[in-house]
Amino acid sequence: MEYTKEEMMIITASRLLHNGEVCFVGIGLPSTACNLARLTHAPDIVLVYESGTIDTKPAVLPLSIGDDILADTASTVVSVPEIFNYWLQGGKVDVGFLGGAQIDKYGNINSTVIGPYKKPKVRLPGAGGAPEIASNAKKTFVIMKHNSRAFVDKVDFITSAGYLNGGNEREKLGITGEGPQFIITDLGILRPNSETKEFELTAIYPNVTIEEVKAQTGWDLKISENLSIAEEPPLEYLNVLRDLQQRTSIAHSQTQK
């Protein structure tokens, strides 16, 4: 069955999540991957959104953290201070799932500005809760489309901390979470080197070449000695994902009329 690179990326990301995990979810691609996991192999995953919704089970993908479908389908809704103070900073979140505009070789994410901070070329939507998620979740996953404008040697602004300048700098600063474990893209999967913390290509998608990935990366991307070819998306996952996206499109088009 044919599939797109974006479908491959979302399904690959979803399959990295485990049943029963507590996952703090970002809007967009992270939300799609997390809800796909819930609808397939991880029915008991606990999805938490920044607005305070806990164990939400939306029938369609939310437009924002304030989408009422999140509250309508949640087991409980708490205040924003409680979701950050008690759940996130309290160490109860297993996975923080994030996206961003830029990411660098040490997994630092920029969603603030492109160019100098005081005179940016582009001002981006901003941090939201991402800095706290990246710092306090036990581990972080990042999902982004792979191109040289987004994958840069050094981000213009660190919105959410990865491994900063590499090595044990994150740990020395007392940042509690383990940091980003995966960067899942539409070309493959990157993971941090155990010593330097620089992200390396560890898996590549079918019909994608190493040269293609390196050409779309703004640093001299290292290739893992154990580079693997990722499994093609199972038919079940493709069907569930496409059904979810179709329902979402129909629901939101009706809302906007």
Q: What are the residue numbers of the active site?
A: 50
CA–CA separation, 233 and 6 (whole Å): 11
Tokens representing 98 are 């994030």
CA–CA separation, 255 and 169 (whole Å): 47
CA 165, 213, 240, 99 torsion-angle sign: positive
Judged on CB neighbours under 10 Å (0-12, 13-18, 19+), 102 is: buried
What's the Cα-to-Cα distance from 240 to each of 10, 39, 243, rounded to whole Å? Answer: 12, 7, 5
Give the per-residue SS3 of 46-114: EEECCCCEECCCCCCCCCCCCCHHHHHCCCEECCHHHHHHHHHCCCCCCEEEECCCEEECCCCEECCEE
